[in-house]
Amino acid sequence: MGTREVLKVHKEKQPNGKIFEKWEMGSYHWRTFNEIDRRVNMVASGLKHIGHPDQGSVVLFAETREEWMTTALACFKRAYPIATVYATLGEEAVLFAFKEVAADTIFTSEALLLKVRKAMQNGAKIKNIIYFDSVDPGKKGESIESDDPYTLMSFEQLLAKGEENPLPKVNSISKKEDVAFIMYTSGTTGNPKGVLLTHENVIAAQAGQAECIPVSVGDTYIGYLPLAHILEVCGEIVCLAKGVKIGYSSEQTLFDRAPKILKGQKGDCFVLKPTLMTCVPAVMDRIYKAVVDEVNSQNQLFRELFRTCYERKRSRYEEGYTSYLLNYLVFNKIRVMLGGEVRAVLSGGAPLNPDTQRFMNICFCCPVVQGYGLTETCGGGTCGEIDDISTGYVGAPLSSCVIRLREWKEGGYSPYNEHPQGEILISGKNVTQGYYKNPEKTKEDFIELDGTRYFCTGDIGEFREDGALKIIDRKKDLLKLSHGEYISLGKVETNLLTNPHVENICVYGDSDKSYVVALVVANQKNVTTMAENLGVNTSNFEKVCKNKKVNEALLKELQNHASGKLERGETPQKIFIVHEPWTPASGLLTEALKLKRKNIENTYKKELQAMYSS
């Protein structure tokens, strides 16, 4: 496992008074598998020495880093259930998870200690807090107090205690039925749910997933998605099982133009040169827009040349050919953005726009393999084949699970349609036993059919003749308009998100109306350029977004963008332009960057009503 050193953190004051951090980065420092195993045993011994009870839960509330996975491996060995909590969860959700688990010991990062202390002030009972040192060399020890009424120690201090007081044998004592994770979902509505995943669930999912993408000891995987997300956990466990080295990163330092990379410095991908990575669609949409913006900023001759090369390579790619000359002249220069060595990208967590998938294939010269799974199925469901060049499909069921389609008459989906369709039900040894301390929700989401227990995903799927699955809708995202037609809000959003003027979008519909509207988070750079071309004063971006001429121009732009991709009834007829980005911290996105529809609708209730009343 490798961690990149942060040499110095520079503070840059912005015109609006905000302070942005820019990191001066060094090299990756590596630990061998033997060294990691030694640290794992030291953590296990250290936990025993400080009095953590047998079978007692441990909370992991920290960003993605080597210490997170090292701690998890120690807990696996000693049969300590791990409660994973997103580092970006709001205070209320963090408090809920802490109280529900009631763990004696929590592992967190130095930067999150204030959140932990606040939760304790509000009733969370924690005996031992182990913190990972700040990555900022200038901030180490800044948040530490010595008179706390609980055990507080650094991760390094815990390792030292484990080394001084080693267990006679640190063999794995876990049984297959023991709980490995209580994995708290980020949740699009209400409090997060704790999904119970046993060691059998984890191994079954890993066995099925490892068959999909051939990985070997020579590969390098870049870990940057939250380890509280099942997709990242699955990716890293498969890599560890195959002897693949993992270099840690974050979305803030992934690329040369990432928010925390100091100008002139290189991002983690360039330095690490990974061969494998996982992505959620939101990240790939950002990569897509970044490349499009870069191309559009060039002169007309360059833009035409790029478009011609892109279309030529796409034509050859879809016929099964490789374009070595075009790669050498054009696309290898773009490929360097991901380090230049990536041979496969695994996409999961949400549907990926087919245009974005094909763009990644062509510009980054590697397959994008879509998978489908949920926290409740330990990330296991389906996975595409690395040689499948089609778009929009998430592959065939993994060998460790069974998928069944259930008829949904109201939506017109049936396994007996020309192409089998219906709600996706998943069974197998990778499927959770249920939700932690939530029997009502467990009863609601799990059913038994023909003697087999299934998890009801709420997603609508369609099987291709060769057994590959396509996610075509989500039940709760389907809206019936006044004329009786169903609209898939997710489908509309996925298509419009690829427009360079759109940073994010939430489509909304009133069942008593005949059309949908949209809240559009504007891409500041491109919408400002649009406003300048319209002769609008751009000194205040909030006023730009409220300008009627800009609104009309952006609406027309989106309707043109949707032409040929969406039906007229699916295309928003009115929009409200949002000037501030949506983030997990604002409560409008989940930690997996999915929309929290109810929160968004409540926040913009007045604006949504105005669009339908005007």
Q: Are residues 575 and 462 in the same domain?
A: no
Query: What separation, in Å, do the N-terminal and C-terminal C-alpha atoms of the chain show?
Result: 57
pLDDT of residue 258: 86
Cβ neighbour number for residue 612 with a 10 Å cutoff: 14
pLDDT of residue 396: 95
pLDDT of residue 605: 93
pLDDT of residue 591: 77
- Of 451, 475, 499, the position where a domain reaches its end is 475
Model confidence pLDDT, tens digit, residues 508-546? 998 888 899 999 999 999 999 999 999 999 999 999 999
Nearest CA-CA partner of 81 in 201, 186, 248, 238: 201
Cα–Cα distance measured from residue 183 to residue 560, given in angstroms and rounded to the nearest whole number: 42
Query: Residue 538 sits in which domain range?
Result: 481-613
- Number of independent structural domains in the chain: 3
Q: Are residues 549 and 447 in the same domain?
A: no
pLDDT of residue 145: 54
Cα dihedral value 505, 370, 182, 121, nearest 10: -30
pLDDT of residue 230: 93
- Of 424, 452, 475, the position where a domain reaches its end is 475
Q: Are residues 574 and 518 in the same domain?
A: yes
Q: Are residues 399 and 461 in the same domain?
A: yes
Residue 331 lies in a domain: no
pLDDT of residue 352: 87
Residue 90 lies in a domain: yes
DSSP annotation string for 21-39: EEEEEEEEEE--HHHHHHH
- Of 138, 155, 174, the position where a domain reaches its end is 174
Residue 325 lies in a domain: no
Cβ neighbour number for residue 9 with a 10 Å cutoff: 17
pLDDT of residue 8: 92
Cα–Cα distance measured from residue 46 to residue 44, given in angstroms and rounded to the nearest whole number: 5
Cβ-contact 445, 221 below 8 angstroms? no
Q: Are residues 101 and 142 in the same domain?
A: yes
Amino acid identity, position 255: F
Cα–Cα distance measured from residue 36 to residue 69, given in angstroms and rounded to the nearest whole number: 10
Residues 6 or more apart whose Cβ sits within 8 Å of residue 590: 186, 187, 188, 584, 596
Average confidence (pLDDT) per 10 residues, the chain, 614 residues: 94 77 94 96 95 95 97 96 91 91 95 92 93 84 58 93 89 93 77 92 94 89 94 94 95 88 92 94 84 85 91 92 90 90 90 89 92 94 92 93 93 92 96 95 94 95 95 83 81 91 93 90 94 94 94 95 88 94 86 85 93 87
Distances (CA, A) of 100 to 75, 126, 167, 193: 19, 12, 30, 10
Residue 211 lies in a domain: no
Q: Are residues 159 and 36 in the same domain?
A: yes
pLDDT of residue 492: 92
- CATH number for the domain including 553? 3.30.300.30
